[in-house]
Chain A
Amino acid sequence: MTTTEDGAVTPALQLKDVSKTFGSVLALRDISLHVDPGTVTCVLGDNGAGKSTLIKILSGVHQATEGHLYVAGERHDFTSPREALGAGIATVFQDLATVPLMSVWRNFFLGNEPLTPLRTLDARKAREVCREELLNMGIDIRDLEQPVGTLSGGERQAVAIARAVHFGAKVLILDEPTSALGVKQSGVVLKYIRQAKQRGVAVVFITHNPHHAFMVGDRFYLLNRGRLTNEFVKGKVEREELVQAMAGGAELEALAHELESA
């Protein structure tokens, strides 16, 4: 872990006063946040809060209209996802990370295939490394030749996470990895998030589920209507507080009242 002169940890990823407008629409306003190595930073927000826009700025798909992005203290203005990937920022998009009909190991090395000295695909090495890396993450795949499409949703996310970690991601951005999963599988994915964190990766976990966030998060940012409304740190926040803040407190009470009286 790198530290600055005054002993503070240099954030793996930092946004300073970032705003993003699409024409007359203000999607994000004055977002400042930081993500430390070896921690899980949760970004919580309801639909339309600006989560997708934020992910796209972090992963290089969109460029910020104002403000800047810093990777390990250095300013970067990504113009493409490839540049972000090159700087060690890997994004796992929900359900868009693996090719269902391809085998596990082929998916694992897709775009980064290992080659023999004769420039052919080194399938043996690919299988070995794949099995090893998946085991390191605590993922036990029955058969590396089986198509990814036959894995469960949780296992598929896990393969994508293990792949990002293996290829040297320093920052791992997960776009709602648990939203399409059942309770048990969500637990499995949360376990892998913790594994990635323990390997020193800075994890950005984007979700609308405060319960999932609470289980693994070290720092919580609440996004509402394009603004960061709250920031919590683990140990100084209760689960109920997070749920309340996430649901917009007063709004939820009003809704509950409305439902009861109906």
Chain B
Amino acid sequence: MSATTAAPSDERLAHVSTLTRLLRRPELGALLGAVVVFTLFAVADQTGQFATMGGLANWTSVAATTGIVAVPVALLMIGGEFDLSAGVMVGTSGLLAGLLATEYGLGLWPAILLTFAFAAGIGLINGWLVMLTGLPSFIVTLAMFFSLRGINLGVTKLLTDTDRVDGYDSAKAVFASQFGSGFYIAVVWWLLITAVATFVLTRSRFGNWIYAVGGDKIAARNTGVPVRRTKISLFVCTSMAAALVGIINLVRLRSMQAGQGVGEEFTFIIAAVVGGCLLTGGYGSAIGASIGASIIGMAFIGIAFAGWNTDWTFLFLGVILFIAVLVNTYIGRRAQGARK
């Protein structure tokens, strides 16, 4: 704490260097990390493909399906909550859309719409339960994770032949078509969601509320921010984003397994944290989460291209997560400590 209120402002304004301003951005650490990881895999590459457009198409397709969910997960984390059911929701929504389209013969588009409505409902339940019970969202969504996983296995273990239903071709154009050097359209969805989330966070009233409810719930309530509505909306967005990925997978792979997405919830959280989100809430960015998703995409593809055993991917992710948190904590301290 300092007590320098009486000093003139001009000389003190000079202390805020461009560097400090840059350091204060939550995504800086992730950006530096992405450059390092890219260089690493470009050098270690055995196929000569990683640093080409084809390689880019390859790793962005992984990054896109991670990033589509990681961005709303980041918003939710900024808002001070977790969603551990986001991964399994990918599987649940893919299965649901597939079941509705094949077994119940609804056609793919109505099935997709119903699935989004269902996902919104799950998000609503997550949000309501967290708000109503006052339990940590970690526990509430963990319970949801296991419930959905059980339902997935109970209802069906595998769905195939989803490309024989009505509306498959148009759905494929929207969710799973390819363009350029093999880029999937999911990349467009991902960039779009990142852009919208960034706009909401920095340039809308709702964004201000997200930071506030995660930063200090009581202060937010005292100043008239609708805390419940804000947090529940974030749960709904996360759940619906997971459903989008579920549908993308269903249409792209033409089949769905009950186990899909399980384990992904931590990948989303890793992306968000690598991107500068604080686990305690109130701080982070959507662009950061997308950069985090890119690092994960590069790791998955890069390790294969380097000819290494892909079983090591998760070790790599673990190390990346740890380094990212260290770097972010250090940068965060410098950015705020340098203010003295």
Instruction: List residues of A whose CB falls within 8 A of some B CB.
Output: 81-82, 85, 91, 93, 96-102, 106, 109-113, 115, 119-121, 123, 139-143, 145-147, 149-150, 152-155, 158, 182, 184-185, 188
Check B5–A143 contact: CB distance below 8 A.
Answer: no
B212 — which chain A residues lie within 8 A by C-beta? 99, 102, 110-111
Given contacts A96-B218, A102-B215, contact A150 B336 (CB under 8 A): yes
Chain B interfacial residues counted at CB < 8 A: 37
With A99-B216, A99-B219, A100-B215 already in contact, 5 other A-B pairs whose C-beta atoms are closer than 8 Å: A97-B222, A120-B204, A121-B203, A143-B13, A188-B5
CA distance A153 to B153 in the complex (A): 55
CA distance A97 to B219 in the complex (A): 5
Check A152–B5 contact: CB distance below 8 A.
Answer: yes
Check A121–B225 contact: CB distance below 8 A.
Answer: no
Of all chain A residues, the one with the shortest Cβ separation from B338 is: A150
A101 — which chain B residues lie within 8 A by C-beta? 211, 215, 278, 282-283
Of all chain A residues, the one with the shortest Cβ separation from B11 is: A142
Of all chain B residues, the one with the shortest Cβ separation from A158 is: B5
Of all chain A residues, the one with the shortest Cβ separation from B15 is: A142
A153 — which chain B residues lie within 8 A by C-beta? 1
Check A121–B222 contact: CB distance below 8 A.
Answer: no
- Residue of B199, B219, B223 contacting most chain A CB atoms (<10 Å): B223
Return the 8 tightest CB-CB contacts between A and B, nearest first: A111-B224, A99-B215, A111-B223, A101-B282, A113-B205, A142-B12, A99-B216, A150-B339
CA distance A235 to B2 in the complex (A): 35
B224 — which chain A residues lie within 8 A by C-beta? 82, 85, 111-112
Given contacts A112-B224, A140-B9, A142-B16, contact A120 B203 (CB under 8 A): yes
CA distance A143 to B4 in the complex (A): 13
From A85, A141, A149, B336 is in contact (CB under 8 Å) with A149
From A91, A102, A119, B282 is in contact (CB under 8 Å) with A102
Chain B's nearest CB lies how many Å from the CB of A38? 25
Judge whether B3 is part of the interface by a CB distance below 8 angstroms: yes
Given contacts A82-B224, A139-B5, A188-B5, contact A121 B205 (CB under 8 A): yes
B207 — which chain A residues lie within 8 A by C-beta? 121
Chain B's nearest CB lies how many Å from the CB of A207? 20
Judge whether B220 is part of the interface by a CB distance below 8 angstroms: yes
The digit string for B144-181, where 1 denotes a CB below 8 A from any CB of A, is 00000000000000000000000000000000000000
Check A99–B205 contact: CB distance below 8 A.
Answer: no
11 residue pairs bridging A and B, Cβ less than 8 Å apart: A91-B222, A96-B218, A96-B222, A99-B219, A111-B223, A113-B205, A140-B7, A141-B9, A142-B15, A150-B339, A154-B3
A188 — which chain B residues lie within 8 A by C-beta? 3, 5
Chain A's nearest CB lies how many Å from the CB of B31? 20
